[in-house]
Chains A and B, each alone.
Chain A
Amino acid sequence: MLSKAVFKQTLSQNWKLWVILTAVTSVIAVMIIRTFDPHAMRLAMMTFGADGPPQGMGGGPFGTGTSRFGMLTIPELMASGYYAMLGLLMPLVYVIITANSLIASQIDRGSMAYTLSAPITRIKLVFTQAAYLFAALAAMFAVVTVAGLATSQISHNALWGQAYTPDVVAAAQVLGVSNQDVENNLPLILNSPKAIVAGADARGVSQEVYTMYVELLLINQAIDGTAEIMGVTPYEFMENPAMADGNREVAQLFSMLLGVDIGVVESHMEHIVDDLYGQSIESPTMLLILMNELDHYMQDIDMDALMAANHAAAEYLGMESLELMANLHILANDQSALAVASEASGIDEATLLAFINVQLAEAEFEFDQGIYFNLGNFVNLNIGIFLLMFAVGGVSFMFSCIFNLTRNSLAFGAGIPIGFFILNMMANISPDFANFRFFTLNTLYNPANVAGGYGFIPQFMAMLVIGVALYLIGIIVFKRKDLPL
C-alpha cells in the first residue's frame, strides 16, 4: 500500500514546514508551562474568579472557591488557553498547507505527471500521501508532548519531583519512622507537637498554618479515597456525598486515615454527609471536626468586611491589595496591621487571623496540587488535539483530492477548517452562539473535559472515525478522477 520512494519524496518536499510549525507550537507550549506558578494562579483566581472558577474547573466545597478544585493543575492550565487556541492554530495551518501540497497543488502544477509516469498506482500514491500527513501530525504532537513533559519536569519538577514534600521528610525524621509511613498516616504529625514544629519549619509557615495544611491533606485523601471506592470522580462524590452512606469500605478508609477504631467511624457514618457540609456539630472523629472548623470560618465571615480588612491592612502596610493577597503571611505576622484590619472590618482579630491561616494553609495545599502533574491527562490532551487535527485535516485532504486547482482545494480545504475553528471559538465566547457548536468538528475536542479526566472517549472515537471516512472518500475520488497532467 505504501510507496517508500513517494514517501521519501514527500518528506524531502515537506519537512521544512513541519520543522518550523512544530518548533513554534512546542515553544508556545513550553512558554506557557514555564510561566505556570501555583501562587500566581491562585491570585488570578481570586481576582477574576469572583463568580466562581472558569467553566469545567468546578467550585470548591468549602465556600472560598479556591480550595481543592479551584486550583489549576498544569494540564488544566494548558487546557484553558493553549489547547483551546494557540496550540490549535499552528497545527491547523500546517494541516491545511500540507494537505493541499500533497495532492491538489501537485496536480495544479503538473509535477504529479512525473510521479505517475513511474509504475506507481494511484491508490499507492494517494495512500502514501495520506499516511505522510498522519505520520507528520503524530510526530508533531509527540514532539510537543515531550517538550511539554520536559518543561514540566525542568521548571516544576512535576514528573519526577520530590516523592515527599520537605515537611513530611522533616516530620518523619523527628518521629523516627519512614517518609512513607508519615504520608500514609498523617495523624502521626497532628498527634506529635514536635513533628508539627519540624514540618512547619520545613515549609516555612507558622504551626497553626501547618496544622491546617495537614488537615487539608487529610480531607483531600479522604475525598479521593472515597471517590475511588465509589468508582466516581472526586467531583461527582462532592456533588452527592450521600452515595458513601453506610459503605463499609469507606468506613475502613476513614478509620485508617484518622487512626481511630472502625466502630467509631461506622457509628457516625450517617453523619458524614451532613458533616461534609458542616451542619453537624457533634462529630467524634477528627476529620469531621476539621471540616467543620474550616467551613465555619468561611461561612461566618462577610466578604465585604473581608475586603475592607484587606484594603485597610494593605494601606497600612503600603502595599497593593492584590500584593497583600498574595503575601498574606505578612499580615499574619504583623500585630498592628492586624489590629488596623480588624478595626476597619469589624471582625475580631482572632477570627481574622484564623481566616488568614486557613487561606495560607490552602495556599500551601494548592501549591502541592498545582505542581501535581497528571501525566495521563496531559498525554490525553495531546492525543485529542492530534485526533482533531487528523479529522479536520481529513476535510482538507479530501478537498485536495477532489479539486485539480489549488485555489479550489484551498477554498474548501482551508475555508471549512478555519470556519470550524471560528464557530467553535464563538460558541465558547458567548451563550448566544452556543448552537454554533453543532456545526463544527472542534466541538468534539473539549480540552477542559480532557484535562479534568471526564468522558471524552466517545468524542475521540468519533474524530477518528470521521477522519478515516474523509481520507477514504478522498482516496476513492482521487483513484477515479481524470487528471489534467
Chain B
Amino acid sequence: MSIIQVKNLTKDFGRGRGVFDVSFAVEKGEVFGFLGPNGAGKTTTIRHLMGFSQPQAGKTSILSKDCWSQHHRIKDHVGYLPGEISLPDHLTGAGFIKQMAGFRKIKDLSYANKLTEWFSLDTSIRLKRMSLGTKRKLAIVTAFLHDPDVLLLDEPTGGLDPLMQDKFIQFVKEEKKRGKTILLSSHIFSEVDATCDRIAIIKEGKLVSAFAADELRHNARKEWKVEFVSLEELEAFSQKGFEISLIKKEANQVHVIFNDKDANRFLAELANHKVNFFSEIKFTLEDYFMKFYRKEGEIC
C-alpha cells in the first residue's frame, strides 16, 4: 500500500486555476519530487493532503487514512513545511518550538535541540525580527520535531542561503535513508534532482509527466557538440549519417545525437576529420522541464 495517495483529485477554483484529475502515489521510503512553477497546483495538492481543503472530486489519503475526514489522525505521522512562512510574531524561536511541542504533546526536546544545532539556528531571537532564512530554518525544525514518517515539504529551501540549501538536501537524504516517505514540491531543479527518486511535473493543475529520476540521469541517448577546424570538414562529417540536431556554420559547430552503443563508430569517424574539440551537452532535469513548458511557446 502506498503511503501517500492522491486519486483523481480535482479542485476547480475557476478561470483555469486549481488541480484537475491529479493522481499519484508515493511509496514507503521514496522521495517524490513535485515540480512546477508557481500557481501550477503544487500547494493546492499539498493543502488537500494536509486536510485544509476538501476535494471536489477524488480522494487523498496518507497511511490509508482520508486526509479530509481524519486529518488529525494523520498529523502524528506527518511533518509539514508550509511554502509560505508566516509565524506568529509574539514569540521567540525557542518559544515557538516549545509551543509546537505542546501542540504535539512532546515533552522531550532533545531531538529539537539536535535539529536546531544541525541547522545552526539561533532560537533566542523574536520571530518578528527573524530573517526569512532563519524563519525557514525554524519552520524546518518544527516540521521535523516529532520525527515523522511522512514529510510534506512545500518549496522547502526558499530563503535559505546556498550553504543551508546544501545542508537541507543532505538532511533530506539522511531522512530518506532512515526510511522516511517524502513529498517535496519545488521549482528548484537542483534540489529535486539531488534528492528525488521519482519526479512528477505539474502544469496548469494537470500532471503532464511522471518518471523515475534515474531514467533521466542515465539516459543512453546523448547529445554532443563538435567543433571542426573548417567549414569543409564540418560538411564532410555531416554526410556520414549521424543524427544532427543543430549546425552553427559561423563557428564550425554541429550538435550530434547518438546512443551510447554507437560511441565507437562516432569516435572512428571523428578521427577522420580535423576537430578543435568535442563535449557532451548534458540533458538536465531543467531541459526536460522546459520541454513541457515551452511546448506551447510559454515563458515560465
Which residues of A pack against B, CB within 8 Å?
3, 5-6, 8-9, 12-13, 106, 109-111, 113-122, 124, 480, 482-485
Contacts and interface: CB of A to CB of B under 8 A. Distances in A.
A110 B75 CA distance: 18
A416 to B, nearest CB: 27
Nearest to A482: B53
Given A114-B87, A114-B142, A482-B53, A120 B99 contact: no
Contact of A119 (B73, B84, B87): B73
B82 interface: yes
A115 B103 contact: yes
Contacts of B50: 113, 116-117, 485
Contacts, number: 82
B52 A485 contact: yes
A118 B103 contact: yes
A116 B82 CA distance: 11
A9 B99 contact: yes
Given A12-B90, A482-B53, 17 more contacts: A5-B103, A8-B102, A12-B95, A110-B86, A111-B88, A113-B52, A114-B82, A118-B75, A118-B100, A118-B103, A119-B75, A119-B104, A120-B72, A480-B54, A482-B47, A483-B47, A485-B52
Interface in B152-197: none
B91 interface: yes
B19 interface: no
A12 B53 CA distance: 28
Contacts of B71: 116, 121-122
Nearest to B145: A118
A154 to B, nearest CB: 36
A118 B82 CA distance: 13
Contacts of B79: 117
A119 B47 CA distance: 15
Given A114-B142, A119-B73, A121-B72, A482 B90 contact: no
20 contacts: A5-B102, A8-B102, A9-B102, A12-B91, A109-B88, A113-B52, A114-B100, A117-B75, A118-B75, A118-B104, A119-B72, A119-B103, A120-B72, A121-B71, A122-B71, A482-B47, A482-B53, A483-B52, A484-B52, A485-B52
Contact of A113 (B73, B82, B90, B105): B82
A120 B103 contact: yes
A110 B103 contact: no
Nearest to B96: A114
B72 A13 contact: no
B146 to A, nearest CB: 9
B35 interface: no
A213 to B, nearest CB: 60
Of A12, A115, A118, A122, most buried by chain B (CB within 10 Å of CB) is: A118
Nearest to A5: B102
B78 interface: yes
Given A5-B103, A113-B80, A485 B73 contact: no
A124 B99 CA distance: 17
A109 B86 contact: yes
B76 interface: yes
A121 B87 CA distance: 20
B143 interface: yes
5 closest pairs, A vs B, by CB?
A: A118-B103, A110-B86, A5-B102, A119-B75, A117-B80
Contacts of B78: 117
Contacts of B51: 116
B135 to A, nearest CB: 11
A12 B96 CA distance: 11
Interface in B50-101: 50-54, 71-73, 75-76, 78-80, 82, 84, 86-88, 90-91, 95, 99-100
Contacts of B105: 5
A37 B51 CA distance: 62
Interface string B114-135: 0000000000000000000000
Contacts of B88: 9, 13, 106, 109, 111, 114
Contacts of A122: 71
B134 to A, nearest CB: 16
A482 B82 CA distance: 16
A110 B89 CA distance: 12
A6 B72 CA distance: 14
A341 to B, nearest CB: 69
Nearest to A124: B72
Contacts of A3: 103
A117 B143 contact: yes
A462 B258 CA distance: 83
Contacts of A13: 88, 90
B227 to A, nearest CB: 53
Contact of A485 (B72, B82, B95, B104): B82
A106 B86 CA distance: 9
Of B51, B103, B142, B143, most buried by chain A (CB within 10 Å of CB) is: B103
Nearest to B56: A482
A121 B78 CA distance: 15
Interface string B218-261: 00000000000000000000000000000000000000000000
Nearest to B51: A116
B107 to A, nearest CB: 12
A119 B80 CA distance: 12
Contacts of A9: 88, 99, 102-103
A120 B50 CA distance: 12
Nearest to B78: A117
